[in-house]
Amino acid sequence: MPPPCIDYDDGSTENLLGWGAGGDMVWLSRFGSVGAVTTITSIDVVWWGVANGTPTNVFLWQDDPTQDGDPGTSTLLLNIPTVVSSVGTDTYVSYPIPPLAISGLFFVGTHAPHTTGQWVAPLDVSAHPYPDVSWFFGVDLAGQSANYANPAANAQPPVSLDSVMPAQVLVRVQCAGAPTYLCDPGSGPTQACPCSNPPSGPGRGCNNSSNTGGASLVGTGYASVAASTLAFTSTGEEPTALSIVLQASSVNPSGMVFGQGVRCVVQNLKRLYTHFAVGGSVTAPVGTDLDIPTRSANLGDSISGGQSRWYMVYYRDANVLGGCPAGSTFNATNTAEVIWAP
């Protein structure tokens, strides 16, 4: 099974699906994990083939008690009326929802009524690590609407997209426990690097004296207060740098000068882990390290389900770049935000 909130697609549409005679096509993907609870915070969709402003809906279904991964007998939990937007641009349109805990497998998707010659469901055919996660159903007659509450009752009941072609539709979910990232120096609201040392691209902190392009922080695993597997890895540091994983209870997106880098995390700062980099990379927690919620509680900051925390790594860089004060012997990664699941 794939991780519960993975992005199946790479963000680009290589093919499209629709009914040859027109009709109402619904496309959806499966998320979640059998026997586990996933907390959803938004549903994200991409549209093609019809005009901006076309009425549509965004859906969430829960799989039936057998948890067979087939949406035919799933239960419709959310139906969000909206209109199509950002058509044909591969732009994900996000629909935030109050944190919603779903047990087991579930499906999210959208639909587009269309006519002959319109192809509406965006397909990614270049990335396909997990089969039978994307499906479609509906009615292949222009002017008629699909049965969204009972997928199996449609003229075309749910079909795995893999039975037509190996591909995945462009729908995603954002979940509590899945990190998101911010604090790209010199981009958006975040101030520029202080030593004329911009990062080489997004998702990195300021460049360092090894000219790696800046250190990048990525979280893997699942952030659940009850059973956390979340770990952070920083790459692109100095080769053997002393590195500290820092947690905060708030964030300032504009950031502040922090040694040779920019720090966006603020308030209730906790030094969770200290390790030396190996080949410019550090991972924590690792080995005998306590998991993040336990370590945080031991430092006086107990995390509850639904709460956010922000994370970065700062590391030693003794060779101070030009334009920074002599004491600026450290640098920083970008920042990760985590909404903790229960």
What are the tens digits of pLDDT across the range 194-240?
A: 999 999 999 999 999 999 999 999 988 778 898 888 999 999 999 99
Q: Tell me the CATH architecture of domain 15-175.
A: Sandwich (2.60)
* Alpha-carbon separation of residue 225 from 100, 272, 341 (angstroms): 16, 16, 6
- Look-up: residue for tokens 């007998």? 73
Helices (H) and strands (E) in the chain, counts: 1, 21
Whether 260 and 328 have beta carbons less than 8 Å apart is answered as yes
Whether 10 and 127 have beta carbons less than 8 Å apart is answered as yes
Whether 225 and 303 have beta carbons less than 8 Å apart is answered as yes
Per DSSP, the residues of 248-272 read: ESEEEEEEEEETTEEEEEESS-EEE
Each domain of the chain, given as residue ranges in start order, spans 15-175, 180-339
Lookup: tokens for 93: 């349109």
Q: pTM for the whole thing?
A: 0.64
Identify the pLDDT of residue 1: 63
For residue 79, the cross-strand partners are 59
- Residue 278 per-residue DSSP state: B
Identify the pLDDT of residue 336: 94
For residue 32, the cross-strand partners are 105
Closest CA to 179 of 129, 251, 102, 131: 251
d(CA 76, CA 57): 12
pLDDT tens for the chain, residues 1 to 342 = 677 788 889 899 999 999 999 999 999 999 988 887 788 889 999 999 999 999 999 999 999 999 999 999 999 999 999 999 999 999 999 999 988 888 899 999 999 999 999 999 999 998 777 889 999 999 999 999 999 999 999 999 999 999 999 999 999 998 877 788 899 999 999 999 999 999 999 999 999 999 999 999 998 877 889 888 899 999 999 999 999 999 999 999 999 999 999 999 999 999 999 999 999 999 999 999 999 999 999 999 999 988 899 999 999 999 999 889 989 999 999 999 998 887
User: What would the pLDDT profile of 14-39 be if each residue is shown by its tens digit?
Assistant: 999 999 999 999 999 999 888 877 88
Could you give phi then psi for residue 298, rounded to 5 degrees? -65, -25
d(CA 292, CA 230): 7
Q: What is the mean pLDDT of the chain?
A: 94
Q: Chain centroid to CA 73: how far?
A: 28
